[in-house]
Chains A and B, each alone.
Chain A
Amino acid sequence: MEATEKREKKGRKRSTEAYLLLFLIVVLGFLGIFAHGFYDLNNVMSILNRFSYILIAAIGMNLIIITSNIDVAAGSLISAICIIVAAFGKMGVMFWGLLPIAIVCGMLMSALNAVIITKLKIPAMVATLAMSQIYQGVLPLLSHGSIYDLPDSFTWFAFKAKLFGVLPASVLVMAIITVIAVLFMRYSRFSKKLYAVGNNANGARLAGIHVDKVLMAAYVIAGGLYGVTGVVIATASQRVTPTMANGMEMMFIASVVLGGTSTVGGSGRIQGTVLGALILAIIGPAINYIGISPDWSNAVMGVIILVSVTTTIYEHKKKRVLPEEVGEAK
């Protein structure tokens, strides 16, 4: 029984990714025919850069959502990291110094979220909501507006660090993180604990898993990844504002959800998130290129998420036998 269910679930997930891939190929083909200049080198590289920072944070978000929690403070947290990174960058700290600082700050701030969720027993949704408000208030007070006139050493990562002279270095970082994440989710024992906690936290606890520790680890890892994203976003300009990444958490959550991870927890794979992030990274610029006013980009994004999620769930429902379907409502 368990085995068949497992096989069925696996089949569904594979089909989610197949759908996404198909959709992606259709969109890319369509753009190739109708959008002149979409495949210009500059445009492709800027999309890849956008893709990489969305994906890096979305992988972190994926870990959190697998445990059936959520993090709506991600955007404000990344804004905080951007400001911290910029403050150090102003002092002339090079990229190799900025990256560890950002990762550690991200981990610490995200750990604070996890402490509030696990120790004070507040649902993740509202806890991170409250934290995001606090960040949004603290940042402008501490930074007194934006930090500007940043030195070249600061923007080195975005403008000078190119692989083979063209590919943004952020893509390399993203590739490394994605490969590690896929392997990690596949082979590590810890990843199994993540799924267990997401499926049934109480059952996992009775099976001997330290649930709070697993949640803490998921948030801390995600925080580190937010740190990397923060560096990629901050170094892309000479002026860093305290609201730079506010609201981006919705983009990350959307990539994860689009990638077939259920917000109820306990399922989802990194591969799906990769495709989800790629689709979301393409949509914004693509709309511009096919001649629709960029004003409509949000609407298109909403429709795509809605349609893809609804069809996935519909497919999922069709495959299930009746008794299970009745018992399904969360």
Chain B
Amino acid sequence: MKKRTHFEFNFNMALFLILIVSFFVIAQRNSAFMSPDYVIEVVLKNAVEIGMLALPMTLVIVTGGIDLSCGNIMVLSAMAGGMVGGKLGSLAGVIVTILIGAACGLLNGVIIARARVPAMITTLATMYLYLGIAKGISKGDSIYSYPAATALGNFELFGLPIQIYIYALLAVVYVILLHRSCFGRKLIAIGLNENATRYCGIDTGKSIMAAYLLEGLTASVAALIWIGRFTSLKFDAGTNLHMKAITVVVLGGTSIVGGVGDMRGTVLATLIIAVFNSGLTVLNLAIDAQTIIQGAVLLVSLVVYEAIHRYQRNKKLIRG
């Protein structure tokens, strides 16, 4: 067991190194990147929503599942909240947003855990479903922000935008949830061997449902910030968000087949992606080049991860 923590520490160190190096390389090319204002207002602010999706996505992927619908949960809950909030006031908007997010997540969880439909297929179908409902209720028009969401998207506390506090809080909660709680243990056990976990007397269905419910809930919190930041939204705004969230999780060292995961890695990976996204804009690279680099980063990190993993396994074999 000690071995494993040692290994995870190593991978996080590598991520941290990548983060520092890429930050300073970009900062050296363009000194404006170094200014605290830029780092806070652009680098961090732009990554908050994806980071929020990635946190519960780590839990989901650790169980061996996947959630392709998270981006569209965010869109749907933001839109429903926006429509209600515009008419009935902020409080109703916030409540509707959270409720819709929770309902969407719970629907995923129930179908996956109770009907035992593979997560990939379920969330593929609900991805269409949520996107379709968002498109249907908005009739393809933009939905506008309302006061409470605008405050969440733009308010600043002690010089930092409020969403950064929210993200930091959530990150701490999720790190504790995965690494320091019984629930996290259960999720990891499910990812390693679901049958064995069930025979140990753990209600695997309940834990899996909780993971998807958390995904829906956190996506709805991200939705509040999102619509507040952009002031208006269309139904197609969340098309590729699930891919970005999965990229962050995998880059953070969570195994896509489940059972191995590190929430701190996910947080670091979020920062790396944030630095890359805004850094490449600062370097005047086209948006397409950024997409390429993101794909390449994902690929390289997978190869490195696999190599480290194999090296560790071999070492273990020789010693054992």
* Residues of chain A having any CB pair with chain B under 8 Å: 70, 116, 120-123, 125-127, 129-134, 136-141, 247, 250, 253-254, 257, 262-264, 293, 295-303, 305-306, 309-310, 313-314, 317, 326-330
B298 at the interface (CB under 8 A from A): yes
Top 10 nearest A-B pairs (CB, nearest first) are A299-B132, A302-B129, A298-B132, A133-B295, A137-B291, A137-B292, A302-B128, A134-B295, A305-B125, A130-B298
12 further contact pairs, Cβ within 8 A, besides A120-B303, A134-B295, A297-B132: A127-B302, A130-B302, A132-B243, A134-B296, A140-B286, A295-B136, A295-B140, A296-B132, A299-B132, A299-B135, A301-B128, A306-B117
Q: Are B303 and A122 in contact, CB atoms less than 8 angstroms apart?
A: yes
Question: Which B residues touch A247, using CB under 8 A?
Answer: 239
Q: Are A300 and B132 in contact, CB atoms less than 8 angstroms apart?
A: yes
Question: Which B residues touch A306, using CB under 8 A?
Answer: 111, 117, 122, 125-126, 129
Interface size on B, as a range, is: 35 or more
* Residues of chain B having any CB pair with chain A under 8 Å: 66, 111, 115-118, 120-122, 124-133, 135-136, 138-140, 194-195, 198, 204, 239, 243, 246-247, 250, 256-257, 286, 288-296, 298-299, 302-303, 306, 310
Q: Are A296 and B135 in contact, CB atoms less than 8 angstroms apart?
A: yes
Cβ contact of B124, chosen from A121, A254, A317, cutoff 8 A: A254
Question: Which B residues touch A126, using CB under 8 A?
Answer: 246, 250, 256, 298, 302
Cβ contact of A329, chosen from B125, B138, B195, B310, cutoff 8 A: B195
Q: Provided the pairs A262-B118, A296-B135, A310-B111 are in contact, do residues A305 and B128 lie with their beta carbons within 8 angstroms?
A: yes
Question: Which A residues touch B129, using CB under 8 A?
Answer: 298-299, 302-303, 306
Question: Which B residues touch A120, using CB under 8 A?
Answer: 302-303, 306
Question: Which A residues touch B127, using CB under 8 A?
Answer: 250, 302
Q: Are A329 and B128 in contact, CB atoms less than 8 angstroms apart?
A: no
Distance in angstroms from B296 CB to nearest chain A CB is: 6
Question: Which B residues touch A123, using CB under 8 A?
Answer: 256-257
Q: Are A329 and B116 in contact, CB atoms less than 8 angstroms apart?
A: yes
Q: Are A305 and B299 in contact, CB atoms less than 8 angstroms apart?
A: no
Cβ contact of B298, chosen from A133, A140, A295, A299, cutoff 8 A: A133
Distance in angstroms from B190 CB to nearest chain A CB is: 9
Cβ contact of A132, chosen from B118, B130, B194, B295, cutoff 8 A: B295
List the B residue with the shortest CB-CB distance to A136. B291
**Bound: A127/B256 CA distance, A:** 11
Q: Are B291 and A293 in contact, CB atoms less than 8 angstroms apart?
A: no
Cβ contact of A305, chosen from B121, B247, B306, cutoff 8 A: B121
**Bound: A213/B66 CA distance, A:** 28
A-B contact pairs, 10 of them (CB 8 A): A122-B303, A126-B302, A133-B292, A133-B294, A134-B291, A136-B295, A137-B289, A295-B138, A302-B125, A303-B125
Distance in angstroms from A61 CB to nearest chain B CB is: 12
List the A residue with the shortest CB-CB distance to B128. A302
Question: Which A residues touch B246, using CB under 8 A?
Answer: 126, 129
Question: Which A residues touch B286, using CB under 8 A?
Answer: 140-141
Cβ contact of A125, chosen from B66, B122, B133, B303, cutoff 8 A: B66
Question: Which B residues touch A129, using CB under 8 A?
Answer: 243, 246-247, 298
**Bound: A305/B121 CA distance, A:** 9
Distance in angstroms from A112 CB to nearest chain B CB is: 11
Question: Which A residues touch B132, using CB under 8 A?
Answer: 295-302
**Bound: A66/B290 CA distance, A:** 34
**Bound: A327/B194 CA distance, A:** 10
Distance in angstroms from A264 CB to nearest chain B CB is: 6
Distance in angstroms from B76 CB to nearest chain A CB is: 10
Q: Provided the pairs A122-B302, A137-B289, A137-B292 are in contact, do residues A263 and B128 lie with their beta carbons within 8 angstroms?
A: no
List the B residue with the shortest CB-CB distance to A123. B256
Question: Which A residues touch B126, using CB under 8 A?
Answer: 302, 306
Question: Which B residues touch A121, using CB under 8 A?
Answer: 306, 310
Cβ contact of B135, chosen from A134, A138, A254, A295, cutoff 8 A: A295
Distance in angstroms from A245 CB to nearest chain B CB is: 14
Q: Are B139 and A305 in contact, CB atoms less than 8 angstroms apart?
A: no
**Bound: A302/B295 CA distance, A:** 28
**Bound: A329/B117 CA distance, A:** 10
Distance in angstroms from A260 CB to nearest chain B CB is: 12
**Bound: A252/B135 CA distance, A:** 22
List the A residue with the shortest CB-CB distance to B300. A130
**Bound: A120/B257 CA distance, A:** 16
Distance in angstroms from A126 CB to nearest chain B CB is: 5
Question: Which A residues touch B299, using CB under 8 A?
Answer: 116, 122, 127, 130-131, 134
**Bound: A134/B126 CA distance, A:** 26
Distance in angstroms from B111 CB to nearest chain A CB is: 7
List the A residue with the shortest CB-CB distance to B286. A141
Question: Which A residues touch B302, using CB under 8 A?
Answer: 120, 122, 126-127, 130
List the B residue with the shortest CB-CB distance to A325. B116
**Bound: A153/B122 CA distance, A:** 43
Distance in angstroms from A136 CB to nearest chain B CB is: 5
Q: Provided the pairs A133-B294, A330-B194 are in contact, do residues A299 and B133 lie with their beta carbons within 8 angstroms?
A: yes
Cβ contact of B295, chosen from A122, A131, A262, A297, cutoff 8 A: A131
List the A residue with the shortest CB-CB distance to B205. A329
